[in-house]
Structure 1
């Protein structure tokens, strides 16, 4: 398992805050996504982990830098959600190496829980009331907001500039509905194009097939480069939870382990390791009660706004 104590980005770059993909890095990332699609749920390599016997089978993404990403240099999958999975194995199975990581995407992460291939899914899976009817979710281990990435040359600087434009989103994600609601409230109309993977959306943006790329902001930071701009406006807090089979044997133990990781500081340390937002539920609730955005101290967007006079990168 690649837990080095430093943030590993694409092409060897460190840090998610202000991380940019080089052209070479982006091509490699797109290649990794294509390979991941071809894997069809194969067990992926984890440096230092040698599962044997009773293991925890966890699905993570492999195309999201900082969360679940198959490093093109090493072939290993790494990120916050992989590290959380390792902690779950340690606390539930008694051994951090009693773990199998399986690559998933937005269309397979739930299906593989349904068919018993996975024990749990840690794949930027947003907790919603509709999804809780089908799966059990742990308490949130990460909180983000929906963001929008555009090409700088488009001249789009805010939500109003997207009126009549096409936005690329992930299949089966909450983004389409949440962004559509925000657009309706702003009195504009949007068109949507859905894709199976994030690299496909970035490629569509660069090629001009879509006018914007929308997903959670921390994910977009991994796809930002010198040609793109992350709009300062963010929408709808997104709470990520560990999904397990409804009424399954792991539902209780997983939630208890996440609670313990939050209480003993493990979650915060892992977020810091990967340069991710430190926002908690308490932060969101406090700022919303105060009439703020609910981002909370420590969010990358807040840091960007302070550094650039109010506009996040």
Structure 2
């Protein structure tokens, strides 16, 4: 199994994200040019073939989904494998790919301005987001959870009146928690951070009382001093996001995701990365 669950690696991943280290030719946020388009301005499978490279926005701080290996400087994970498999189908070469690190805040703008052809970055499909982007069928289903320090004594959200919860910028996490909090009659406050390692650092230092994101992501940040509470909020469907105007490419990718869901390919990849446990 390929799990990478070291806090040291996560801290270094944050440093890499902030530019402390250089990146190689296959994953850089400073792409010299946007995606190739056809005469109508669309990015299609054919224009990607002509360009010779598939540009994909991915996470680099999410264990088992997209995490930078500090020994090799490569980004690895379930979503990276999906991106490579799509590149193999379109270009015939799984390595003909440019991985562009994104966050919850930057993934939309990078897709909008054409710096990436698609985003595969724990991007939750919502009705509101579907008005702006094309999404594939879900390749993974999760739910929002809470990671807390064991010494806090929390047993669930109902115990957390007045707590401050760390969430990612531009995520839907706070909305999911607030909907549940209303049922308990409790009030919460939120602090937003650019990366997941920053939220974990805030939890460790006591600046927040909980770290909240999807439960499978939280699992990568567990250590001896923390626990994931039993609460589950709002089903989270992860889909491949593509610019709204690129309908042909969206159909191509959705057909691939659907086929891989039906033939067991996605399940095998999920198992390989220790997800869904």
- The change in CA–CA distance for 1:57 and 1:42 in structure 2 (over 3 A counts) is farther
Structure 2 stretches of 5 or more lacking a match?
28-48
Which one of the candidate residues 3, 9, 24 is aligned to 2:4? Answer: 9
1:145 counterpart = 2:172: no
When structure 1 is superposed on structure 2, of 242-251 and 201-210 the one drifting more is 242-251
Which one of the candidate residues 176, 179, 183 is aligned to 2:177? Answer: 179
Whether the 8 Å CA contact 2:26–2:97 is kept in 1: the answer is no
- After TM superposition, list the pairs within 5 Å mapping 1:224-263 onto structure 2: 224-248=222-246, 249-263=248-262
- The change in CA–CA distance for 1:43 and 1:113 in structure 2 (over 3 A counts) is farther
When structure 1 is superposed on structure 2, of 158-167 and 37-46 the one drifting more is 37-46
1:47-101 Cα shifts (integer Å, max 9, x gaps): xxxx995111111100001000001122111000000001111122222222111
Q: CA deviation at 1:202?
A: 0.4
1:253-294 Cα shifts (integer Å, max 9, x gaps): 1111111111222111110110111xxxxxxxxxxxxxxxxx
1:29 aligns with 10
Q: Which has the higher contact order (CA 8 A, sep 6+)?
A: 2
Inter-partner Cα distance in structure 2 for 1:146 and 1:55: 34
1:116-164 Cα shifts (integer Å, max 9, x gaps): 1000000000000111111110000000000001001111111111111
Inter-partner Cα distance in structure 2 for 1:161 and 1:41: 44
Which one of the candidate residues 158, 165, 168 is aligned to 1:167? Answer: 165
When structure 1 is superposed on structure 2, of 244-253 and 171-180 the one drifting more is 244-253
Inter-partner Cα distance in structure 1 for 2:165 and 2:274: 27
Inter-partner Cα distance in structure 1 for 2:25 and 2:18: 12
1:229-274 Cα shifts (integer Å, max 9, x gaps): 1101111110000000002142111111111111222111110110
TM-score by length of 1: 0.78
Deviation >4 Å, runs of 4+: 39-46
Inter-partner Cα distance in structure 1 for 2:165 and 2:56: 31
- After TM superposition, list the pairs within 5 Å mapping 1:1-313 onto structure 2: 6-10=1-5, 25-38=6-19, 45=26, 54-248=52-246, 249-277=248-276, 300=277
Q: CA deviation at 1:29?
A: 1.2
Q: CA deviation at 1:45?
A: 4.8
- The change in CA–CA distance for 1:42 and 1:57 in structure 2 (over 3 A counts) is farther
Structure 1 stretches of 5 or more lacking a match?
1-5, 11-24, 278-299, 301-313
Inter-partner Cα distance in structure 1 for 2:151 and 2:134: 43
